[in-house]
Amino acid sequence: MVKRRSKPDWLKVRHTVGENFREVRNIVRQHHLHTVCEEARCPNQSECWERRAATFMILGDVCTRNCRFCAVTGGGPLPADSEEPEHVARAVGLMGLKYCVITSVTRDDLEDGGAAIWAATIRAVKEQNPDCLVEVLVPDFQGHTAAIDLVLSAAPDVFGHNLETVCSLYSIARPQADYNASLAVLRYASERGALTKTGIMVGLGESREQVRALMRNARDAGCEVFTAGQYLQPTHAHLPVARYVHPDEFAEYENYGRQIGFREVVAGPLVRSSYHADQLAGYIQERKQA
């Protein structure tokens, strides 16, 4: 058994449960929703829920893939819930969100990869909450552009798809995915006018130059927003942490990202794709008016 590395002080988080946290938890449970905050064991859950921010996870809580870094359960999922879009939209209203982040498990078992539910959810949220901006973090849909088009037809304000890690580590960390296919998803959405966003984990064994190369690849694919955070091993069955990346290195990635043209770069030990995503609200409005 591989012994886990001790976490450095900058990764130690104090979890607090306040009134907002309890209310968000109750709304999620009453509407039978899933959140990536819980399923992926996000270290920022208590902070985000206390500020009434949550990332909804649609299409169930079982993924058809089995990435070796991810805490979401893999296996055979249940049929898609046609009422899920309404449940999410209602929860957004009850939580009073002005910026909503939605992600999903990967559903390779569905002909459209779940794109129809995706589009219905985006539309339901926007119809019931017209002042709410919607950011989506979608799977690769096995590269099917018709599925991507269906999601884009619902006009999400931000189209996100995570590269997750550098190309050389895909066979270890994401054996059912393809680096260039993920880049193609981002490029396709960017070429159709979407504001695109991607994110990665570091600490899996990549080098600084590999991260910079990935950032250049993402920028060349049209991405405007980039995030990077520390990989944390969810259980002993998942990939071990190769190293804990110092905050100074994350600062280097932020500076480099801005140098090569990203509009926004957020990098830090506890950063996750949707962490403080609402900071993009101002830029989204500017972009719409341009």
User: 101 — phi, psi (to 5°)?
Assistant: -115, 130
pLDDT the model gives residue 143: 95
pLDDT the model gives residue 127: 97
3-state secondary structure at position 103: strand
Answer yes or no: are the C-beta atoms of 156 and 136 closer than 8 Å.
yes
pTM: 0.88
Domain spans of the chain?
14-289
pLDDT the model gives residue 164: 96
Answer yes or no: are the C-beta atoms of 98 and 277 closer than 8 Å.
no
Tokens of 135: 């950011």
pLDDT the model gives residue 1: 41
Q: Give me the tens of pLDDT residue by residue for the chain, a chain 290 residues long.
A: 445 567 888 776 666 666 766 776 777 777 666 665 555 565 556 666 666 667 788 998 889 998 888 878 888 888 888 999 999 999 888 888 888 899 999 999 999 999 999 999 999 999 999 999 999 999 999 999 999 999 999 999 999 999 999 999 999 999 999 999 999 999 999 999 999 999 999 999 999 999 999 999 999 999 999 999 999 888 888 899 999 999 999 999 999 999 999 999 999 998 888 777 778 888 888 888 77
Answer yes or no: are the C-beta atoms of 54 and 36 closer than 8 Å.
no
CATH of 14-289, one of 3.20.20.70, 3.10.20.30, 3.30.70.270, 3.65.10.10: 3.20.20.70
Q: How far apart are CA 101 and CA 157, in angstroms?
A: 10
Distances, alpha carbon 179 to alpha carbons 17, 126, 133, 172, in Å: 38, 32, 29, 12
